[in-house]
Amino acid sequence: MKEELQVLLDTSSLKFIGIFEAPAHGLQPGTIVRMRCYTGDYSGELCPDSEISEMVWLSYADRNMVSEVDKLIFDFLYKKGYLK
């Protein structure tokens, strides 16, 4: 997270929320992407760095803009009340 977004994670606050799998966007048919997701606290100010060119905040209304695996994550977060 420090390299990509210039923040430090508080590792003691990390909480596993799930594994999400779906077909990988733009790759050979049958290629699956698996994401292990966590929540947690961080310190610092979010700022895109390295190969990250921009950062945007998305809501559930933006679900059509994300990959298949991210749609699963959006659905999960929305049902839990974490994403509006």
Per-residue pLDDT reduced to its tens digit, 25-80: 889 999 999 999 999 999 999 999 988 999 999 999 999 999 999 999 999 999 99
pLDDT at 26: 87
Range of the domain at 59: 2-79
41: in domain: yes
Query: Which DSSP symbol is given to 76?
Result: H
- C-alpha–C-alpha distance, residues 38 and 25, integer Å: 22
Say if 75 falls within a structural domain. Answer: yes
Domain count, the chain: 1
The answer as to whether 18 is a domain residue is: yes
Question: Is residue 63 situated within a structural domain?
Answer: yes
On whether the CB atoms of residues 75 and 83 are closer than 8 A, the answer is no
Any domain includes 84: no
Cα–Cα nearest to 1, from 47, 67, 37: 47
Name the residue with tokens 């606050």.
Answer: 13
- The pLDDT, as a whole number, for residue 69 is 97
CA distance 66 to 75: 12
